[in-house]
Amino acid sequence: MTDLRFADLADEPLDEAAEQTRFRRWSMTDLLAADLTFEWDVVGMLVRPTYGLDTGELKSMKSYFGAARAIGLAAGVPILGEWAVPERRRVLFYVAEGGRIPFTRRLIRLCEAHGVDPADLDGWLCPIFDAGPLDSTTFRDTLRAHLDEFAPAFVHLDPLYAFQAVTVDAHRVDQQGRMLADIHTICAERGATFWITAHMNQSGQGFDLKRIAGAGTGEWGDSWVLLKHRETPEVDAGRFRLAVDIGSRQWGGASYELDLDVGRFDADAGNHDGPIRFQVRRAGGETERRDAETDKRLKARRAVFVTMRKARRALTRTEIEERSTGASKSHIRAEIAVMVDDLLLVEHGIRKSDKGGRTAAMYVLAEGVDDA
C-alpha cells in the first residue's frame, strides 16, 4: 500500500516566496552590486554559502565527525580542536541511524571532549530522530517549517539513504542530482547550508567523490569531507587513525590526519570506557609538517584573531585571553604579546580602569589585518 504521506512531488507547486525567487534574471548592475564577501562558517572547512557532504569508508567515524562539527558550530568552539568557528550557528540535525539514545550518549561525550556543556546548546542544536523521502509532502513541509521557525544555518541529514526518494533512481545522475538540488534550494532560500552524509561503495577503488554509492551525489556537492583509514582500525579498542580530505569548488582544500580514540565499548555497562580523545594535524611530507609547538602557537593566534573579529569594541589583554578558546591560555597569552610587538594588535587610544587605581590598555586589530 502506498504511504500517502510520502506521495510523489514531481509536480509539487512551489510556495509563493519560492516562486518569486526562482530563475531570477540578473542585470549586470545588480550582479556587480551584489555582496561578494568571502565568509567562513568553519575556517578551512565550510565557506558560506555552500552545500555538500561527508563520505568515507566503512567505520571511518562519519557520524562522530558530523556530530563534532555540529557541536563546534552550535557552541562556537573549534571543531576537534582544529577548525575555528568564527560565529555560533544554529544546526538542524536529522539523525536516521542509531536513534536517540546512542546519539545523545555520543553528543554528551563529544561535548565533554570539546569543553562544552551540552545544556548550553539549547536553542542552537536541534536533532530530529525521523526520516522520510526527500520528495514527500511531509518532509518538505516540515523542513520549511523548521527553517522558518528555528532559522538554522546548517541542515544535516545523516545518512542520505534513509531519505532517498522512492520516485528517484539513485543510479541516474539527473534524477539524484535534481532531488538533492531541490532540497538545497529550499534551504538556500532561507539562508541555510544543506549537508548530507553519504556512504562509499566499499568495493570501489581510489579515494574521491566517485567512490560514493549510486550516482549524482558527488557531482552535486559544492563542498565535501572524505574520510578513510590510515591504519587498520582497532574497533574493539575504539582506536581509529584516519585521513581527512576537505575540499570545495570555491576555495580548494586541504588534507589532515585525525587520531580519534573513543574508548572500548563495555557491552555490560552500555557505554565506552574513558573520555574521547582526538588530535588533528596537517598531512604532508616531512618538510611540510609543522612541529608541535608551532602548531600550538598558530592555533593560539587563530583564536585571538577570531576573538578580535567578533568583538564589538576594543579589548584589554586580559579580556582577549579570557574570550579566546581553542588553545592553551599560556599559548594565547604569549601570542597576544607577540602580536602587540609585531603591531598586529594596536592600542585604541583609550584605557580601561583596572584594580588598584591602575588602567589597562585596550587593543584592536591593526588596519588591514583581518586574517589569521
Q: Is 140 helix (H, G, I), strand (E, B) or coil?
A: helix
What is the sign, positive or negative, of the torsion defined by CA atoms of 324, 328, 331, 334? positive
Alpha-carbon distance 112 to 90, whole Å? 19
Residue 106: how many other CB atoms lie within 10 Å: 19
Task: Give the model's pLDDT for residue 291.
Answer: 56
> Please, how many CA atoms are within 13 Å of residue 133, restricted to the half-sphere of its CB?
20
Residues 278 and 261: beta-carbon distance below 8 Å? yes
* pTM metric for this prediction: 0.71
**Interhelix angle for 100-113 vs 62-75, to 10°?**
60
pLDDT tens series, the chain, 372 aa = 333 333 344 444 445 555 566 788 999 999 999 888 889 999 999 999 999 999 999 899 999 999 999 999 999 999 999 999 999 999 999 999 988 999 999 999 999 999 999 999 999 999 999 999 999 999 999 999 999 999 999 999 999 999 999 888 887 877 888 899 999 999 999 999 999 999 887 665 666 777 787 677 888 899 999 999 999 999 889 999 999 999 999 999 999 999 999 998 887 777 777 899 999 999 974 334 445 677 788 888 889 988 988 888 899 999 999 999 988 888 899 889 888 887 889 888 878 887 667 888 999 988 766 544
Residues contacting 317, CB < 8 A, separation 6+: 333, 336, 337, 340, 360, 361, 363
Segments of the chain assigned E as strands: 39-42, 46-48, 51-56, 91-95, 125-128, 154-158, 193-199, 223-229, 239-248, 252-261, 265-266, 271-272, 277-282, 315-316, 345-353, 359-365
Residues contacting 40, CB < 8 A, separation 6+: 46, 47, 48, 86
Residues contacting 139, CB < 8 A, separation 6+: 6, 132, 133, 163
